Amino acid sequence: MIVLILNSGSSSIKFQLFNMANERVIVKGLVEKIGEPDSYLIHDWGNGNSQLDIDASDHSNALEYVRKVLVDGMANEKTDMGLIDAIGHRVVHGGEDFFDSALITNEVEELIERYAVLAPLHNPAHLIGIRAARDYFPGLPHVAVFDTSFHQSMPARAFRYAIPNDLYTEHKIRRYGFHGTSHRYVSEHAGALLGTPFTGITAHLGNGCSVTAIQDDKSIDTSMGLTPLEGLAMGTRSGDIDPAVVFHLVETLGYSLGEAKDLLLKQSGLKGLSGVSNDLRDVEAAAERGDKQSILALEVYAYRIRKYIGAYLAILSDPQGVVVTGGVGEHGTKMRELIFEPLKPLGLELDIDKNCGYSGGEEVISRPESRLKIIVIPTNEELMIARDTVRLVINSHP
């Protein structure tokens, strides 16, 4: 099957085309500034980026340009493969209705729209892209893959907030968790690497960060909550914070609710603590120059991760180790050391040489005698979406 993966934002569409016979990426690209006069499309067929200036007035119009790039590119590859057999869509929030990915129907669209209240920055944009794609490719099966579905295996003691019951029963205010596609991908690969269903911790570390406790391949707790704001300190998000801070910002310091929301979502985390950047590399460079706020930002970032790892080791039965992934997890050599060196008493012994020498791929970077393994596994959410798309399409036509 040839599977097109779409990740639609409010003014953008990221895409990848997979040949699932060998799980090869044929082309990947991005449409930016949809609805603006200076919209453009970047695409890469494996030989570097090419950019086209386009006139993408809306998402449907943007898909016309995407399809043209695909048709022209496939012709240049001189292949007799069909253009597209199915389309997979990333969707951030599936609420409690989706324990798995789903073939998209009108009813599924309605449910995605219902959960837009819990993901107002993401679900409406995903829905625009889904509807445009279903209109533009009406004869193809479309599949929604939800960031939240992997975490629907969490028990109530993990996902319920200690607030009045009716806020959950009537309004579904609870912890949902995110980055589920990434956590599922790396946990499956960790299980394959270790030869057994994975029990341990997966840490998706980047500009957005989350940690998940996994027991026998199932999520039993995760650091993000009702929204992706809860949990770890991130690039620009505060992570865990006393809710009364919001009251203080609004009632005492005169912030509007919108300003308080912007502060916690976009002005906090590494960016807020360092005053330098939300990019770990910039903060590390400033710390090396002796900038005290940047040093503190790195310490807070690593400390919060260590706290969650310690907490999740306490709830797992016979954990095998910790997997790190994401931009920081895969490329943050110094941050991995900052996270794991203090965790020796918990059985996580980092091999400094392996950590410094890591250059990609799946690799155990803990010492041979370490009771628990430390593993780096590059994530691939798009491939996970493509695999789910193939699985659901095949299962719908036995």
Sorted by where each starts, the structural domains of the chain and their CATH numbers stand as: 2-146 (3.30.420.40), 190-381 (3.30.420.40)
What confidence tier does 264 reach under pLDDT thresholds 50, 70, 90? Answer: very high
* The predicted structure's pLDDT at residue 80: 46
- The predicted-structure confidence for 91-120, as pLDDT tens digits, reads as follows 999 999 999 999 999 999 999 999 988 888
- Record the pTM: 0.93
Spatial separation of the C-alpha atoms in residues 222 and 371, rounded to whole Å: 23
- Residues 61, 64, 66, 68: is their CA dihedral positive or negative? negative
* The predicted structure's pLDDT at residue 174: 97
* The predicted structure's pLDDT at residue 82: 61
* The predicted structure's pLDDT at residue 83: 79
| Residues 227, 115 contacting (CB under 8 angstroms) | no
Spatial separation of the C-alpha atoms in residues 58 and 81, rounded to whole Å: 29
Spatial separation of the C-alpha atoms in residues 162 and 182, rounded to whole Å: 28
Pairing of strands 2-8, 13-19: antiparallel
- The predicted-structure confidence for 357-367, as pLDDT tens digits, reads as follows 999 999 999 99
Residue 147 designated active-site: yes
Letter string b/e over residues 55-83, b meaning 16 or more CB atoms within 10 A of that residue's CB: ebeebbbbbebbeebbeebbeeeeeeeeb
pLDDT at residue 319 greater than cutoff 80? yes
* Mean per-residue pLDDT, 42-64: 92
- The predicted-structure confidence for 204-245, as pLDDT tens digits, reads as follows 999 999 999 999 999 999 999 999 999 999 999 999 999 999
Which one is catalytic: 147, 221, 351, 388?
Answer: 147
* The predicted structure's pLDDT at residue 237: 95
* The predicted structure's pLDDT at residue 136: 87
* The predicted structure's pLDDT at residue 398: 65
